[in-house]
A and B are shown apart, each in its own frame.
Chain A
Amino acid sequence: GESVGLHLPTLSVQEGDNSIINCAYSNSASDYFIWYKQESGKGPQFIIDIRSNMDKRQGQRVTVLLNKTVKHLSLQIAATQPGDSAVYFCAETINTGNQFYFGTGTSLTVIP
């Protein structure tokens, strides 16, 4: 089956620094990827998505990079704030399907 994994289970950054969260995926057929943020006691919250015909996409303070050659996805958060503290999941899917496959998650802690 598919496997989505994260390189680092925890990440601590100083407030104001940039954060980079990485994700490896194993299914080369996956063509749509999403980063979700999950705060304690809440459901996953959509942050940003990217399709396989792109290698970079920017949002507000966030950038997702996709490297299909090595099947790697990253989330960059600029000027990290305490409110960014959460668990971040990458999720992948094949667009013809219905389900997303989630990674284990990286816990981001922002130090004030």
Chain B
Amino acid sequence: EPEVTQTPSHQVTQMGQEVILRCVPISNHLYFYWYRQILGQKVEFLVSFYNNEISEKSEIFDDQFSVERPDGSNFTLKIRSTKLEDSAMYFCASSEDRRYGYTFGSGTRLTVV
């Protein structure tokens, strides 16, 4: 069964540093998403991406965040100048059609120290 692959599975970074979280969506999917889940809290939407541009973003997704699809297979989330409160699980997801549910990756656990 096709999978969304995320790397690394765990990232530890110093506060103020930049991190890039990587995702390989399912190959025939056109819609890409980033969500995050702070420990013990809800899964929260960050951003959706389609046709090489952001289609929707939440208020969490401020200027500190950016997304990119640098080639035909990868989809990245960059967090500039990380803060302690950025510590969370970050999930990438993709879908063939936004009228249907997504396939989520296993997540990257980001720990900011």
Nearest 7 interchain pairs by C-beta: A43-B104, A99-B45, A98-B48, A98-B56, A102-B43, A34-B101, A46-B101
Those of B17-45 within 8 Å (CB) of chain A: 31, 33, 41-45
State in angstroms the CA–CA spacing of A95 and B98 once bound together.
8
Residue on A nearest B31 in the bound complex, by CB: A98
Number of A-B contacts (CB under 8 A): 51
Please report the C-alpha to C-alpha distance between residue A28 and residue B105 in the assembled complex, in whole angstroms: 29
- Most chain B CB inside 10 Å of its own CB: which residue of A91, A98, A105: A98
| A78–B31 alpha-carbon span in the complex (Å) | 33
Restricting to B94-113, which residues have a CB under 8 Å from any CB of A? 98-107
B91 within 8 A of A: yes
- Quote the shortest CB–CB distance from A69 to chain B (angstroms): 24
Q: 1/0 per position for B76-108, CB-CB distance to A under 8 A?
A: 000000000000000101000011111111110
Q: Can you list 12 A-B contacts (CB < 8 A)?
A: A34-B101, A43-B91, A43-B105, A43-B107, A44-B43, A49-B100, A89-B43, A97-B56, A98-B56, A99-B58, A100-B101, A104-B42
* Chain A residue, CB-CB nearest to B99: A95
The number of chain A residues touching the other chain, given as a range, is 20 to 34
A-side residues, CB < 8 A to B, are: 4, 32, 34, 36, 41-46, 49, 89, 91, 95, 97-105
Residues of B contacting A103 in the complex (Cβ-Cβ under 8 angstroms): 42
Q: Which A residues lie within 8 Å of B56 (CB)? A: 97-99
Q: Which single residue of chain B is at the shortest CB-CB distance from A5?
A: B42
Q: List B45-81 residues whose CB lies under 8 Å from chain A.
A: 45, 48, 50, 55-56, 58
Residues of A within 8 Å of B41, CB to CB, are: 104
Given A99-B56, A105-B42, does the pair A42, B48 have CB atoms closer than 8 Å? no
